[in-house]
Chains A and B, each alone.
Chain A
């Protein structure tokens, strides 16, 4: 027995806890269920004590963390559902299926709330593309996301790409999904009503993905571990498409009491979570589960992670209507058990067969698998960051070469995703700092409002200072949303870290949570859900701390397309925000420029929450007026200053519009590449009006250049042809 629990990923202490809970040795099926449910991936046992510090309250929040997705009221009887999740280790081992099933899983989290998924976003962190292995992962992941998302019929409307050596063997694939729903269709995953039926919908159950959450997702691994490939699930987007339509039909017809998707930990998770949340018991017969292959054991059936399955709780009087609706969509539906009384911790009984002779293979309190899972206060110790940048960083390097090296064109990726379905995509990925969608879906006609979406991650910042980097990441996301004319509504996060058994990693996690919390409180944005992915390490080296922030904003009147990343034929180039102080210019730690030169450590630029809020309010108001069609200060185009600093910002504006910019005064290299936050470059033909509006809002602003010519001219540094920048940018990913 001692060997059995270890092979399943449970510690000796955890085994003792199980014996104490049950008052006896666990049965084999019970042990399998505990091993997956108490895995790091399912239980958040290392991170729960920290996650509580994230602010999740808000007047518009209908459902916060803990459910399948966060749900936010956006007015007019409409709500949005939002969730982000990682699929890192599966993507490392089998890039196509790993990424594809990541998409499938996050979709189910959203439509299980009654929402129609209308948008996906993907954040990828990969090793540099000079390695063949990284190119293999990049290609497979992008094809997997497209292969699943395009086919299932949900547009992939944006995302982010980061390249760094720490992701070479442990790439990160984080997927965000947003859905919309009429509020009266909202359904939770709380089972209730003794005698109600437990119905399994969708795919057959097979041996794929067994132990995916435990041995795969909750342990570090060595690269090329092909032996773990069977732990990766296989996706079927066509099944999922039918499942979406069937489930939304069931919810429209009010035929289900509760519904929950089957993801990590499969039936063990779905049955115990719905029972525990509802405070009821459940009686399941594994022999009723339709199987893909013969001879599966009850433990395999309970922990299989076969994709495209849902668990619905149905009143007996509705079962015929449920079976009919599912048949209409060619979706399999099978009664596999019933809800029982036995309240409190919810008694979960699993049988193999029917009748009194059926063997009981598990009999345990549902809550012991979920809320009562182990909770660890793991030791923490500060990671030692280098106080100064490596000397090579301050060495002389041609600023123009450095700038060219920092440019890449993400449209190579977005082009492989259907980003237009549902006719909502008003500002496509790459067209602005945030993607802008109409707030509409099939069955929910457009009400004139818009949504702005962004996903942001900057592990280089977080490596220098986890707390400061997390604050800057939230600030960056909120400025992106402001540049689309939106006000922020809700955040979901995905926290990717190394091995939690390393004290430095737990310190990083704690610092990042504090950074996100501080910024969210300062900007008044609730965190409505998220995901933690630990054990992102390879060969004993942890990844840089990588919090990913997904932020959704609301545009009240989207009568017109907002200005994007572009320049007019002519016009002034105005910098909103501080040009920077000499002190800030030394703060190049974590900058793309420093990284490119091999510099680590140093200090991050400072973030002033109040100044940042003022800038966001100003930009959001100006762009919202453009969206509503009543702008008094016209804006031609705009782009926030982010990674790569002013240099990359100006270059991207030039590349997007094929026009040059002449900067008026000399800049230093440090000024060009410093990533100081709270800055936006605006192209305007009414600079006086813009400067006046900025003054009124208490935002520093100045004209820094003019649109014109076919070059980016920075006095004292370089003149770069726009064509050369476009060429450098476009070739970098496609190889």
Chain B
């Protein structure tokens, strides 16, 4: 049995674009939590065999033009969209978050950090909603220590979108001390169903033994549990969602 008590390992697709670099770390962290995580190339046509999808951090296509701007056209993104529509948990970490906003699977955009510099450091984040696949196992107000590692991490979106998200509990994590100037100190957001997640900090970097923090496990465990619950409800109709206009 897995550490999280499943009878059958959750199957996670970890998508690799050219230039992605956190794929091995993400697989390691998920595997230590009992998941069965595979690297899936950006040319892959189908993710049907997987219970959940992670777009890991890195510099897909060198971040050339704009982070995520080229990756959103990769063949695999159609499958990611389908997985999202099927209600499978989809998690974009850092560069993955940037790709999900470029693909309009999440609202808003990630701009260059307010300070104009790359930031690799530990930050404290507060859980501001538990109605999502990465925060369902956390408690409201819980503070997690998580590393950030980005140059374009300043989340922004239209005022109406922010109001919508706040009203419907889709702002999942907020920085306690805003490192990059993001709107409303946002560190993570979800789509309408709480299953497509954009997360700027790196949970996989606060997950394995000997690291400074293991708080990332809270988020990744929730993510895997959500995937397992959804799988076990197979047959029940998954909520369809539409892409952001």
Contact = CB atoms under 8 A, between A and B. Distances in A.
Genuine A/B complex? yes
Interface of A: 146-147, 150-153, 236-238, 241-242, 329-330, 411, 414-423, 426, 428, 438, 442, 558, 560-561
A346 B23 CA distance: 44
A423 B204 contact: yes
B116 to A, nearest CB: 10
Nearest to B149: A418
Given A153-B21, A238-B19, 9 more contacts: A153-B59, A236-B62, A238-B18, A241-B59, A415-B119, A418-B120, A420-B147, A420-B149, A421-B149
B59 A416 contact: no
A146 B118 contact: yes
Contacts, number: 78
A411 B117 CA distance: 13
Contact of A415 (B29, B62, B121): B121
Give the interface centre of B24, B64, B119, B202 by most chain A CB atoms within 10 Å.
B24
Contact of A438 (B61, B62, B202, B210): B210
Given A150-B59, A422-B24, A423-B204, A415 B19 contact: no
Contacts of B126: none
Give the interface centre of A147, A153, A329 by most chain B CB atoms within 10 Å.
A153
B205 interface: yes
Contacts of B205: 420, 423
B28 interface: yes
A426 B59 contact: no
B236 to A, nearest CB: 37
B96 interface: no
6 contacts: A152-B21, A416-B120, A418-B120, A419-B120, A423-B204, A558-B210
Contacts of A152: 21
Contacts of B120: 150, 414-420
Interface of B: 18-19, 21-22, 24-25, 28-29, 58-59, 61-64, 117-121, 147, 149, 151, 202, 204-205, 207-208, 210-212
A94 to B, nearest CB: 19
B84 to A, nearest CB: 27
A425 to B, nearest CB: 8
A417 B210 CA distance: 20
B62 A151 contact: yes
Contacts of B202: 420
Contact of A238 (B61, B147, B210): B61
Contact of B18 (A242, A411, A419): A242
B59 A423 contact: no
Nearest to A150: B118
Contact of B22 (A242, A329, A421): A421
A421 B23 CA distance: 10
B121 A423 contact: no
B208 A423 contact: yes
B21 A241 contact: yes
A238 B118 contact: no
A330 B18 contact: yes
A236 B19 CA distance: 12
A382 B182 CA distance: 59
Given A415-B119, A416-B118, A423 B62 contact: no
Contacts of B18: 238, 241-242, 329-330
B243 to A, nearest CB: 28
B68 to A, nearest CB: 14
A241 B16 CA distance: 13
Contacts of A561: 210
A422 B207 CA distance: 12
A663 to B, nearest CB: 30
Contacts of A146: 118
Contacts of B204: 423
Contact of B63 (A151, A236, A421): A151
B59 A238 contact: yes
B121 A237 contact: no
A422 B120 CA distance: 14
A619 B52 CA distance: 48
Give the interface centre of B25, B62, B147, B208 by most chain A CB atoms within 10 Å.
B62
A245 B21 CA distance: 11
A48 B142 CA distance: 61
A422 B117 contact: no
A242 B21 CA distance: 11
Contacts of A428: 212
A422 B21 CA distance: 9
A594 to B, nearest CB: 34
A421 B210 CA distance: 14
Given A416-B120, A418-B120, A423-B211, A238 B62 contact: yes
A146 B119 CA distance: 10
Query: Which 10 pairs show the lowest CB-CB distances between chains A and B?
Result: A238-B62, A153-B21, A442-B24, A151-B59, A416-B118, A426-B210, A423-B25, A146-B118, A418-B120, A415-B121
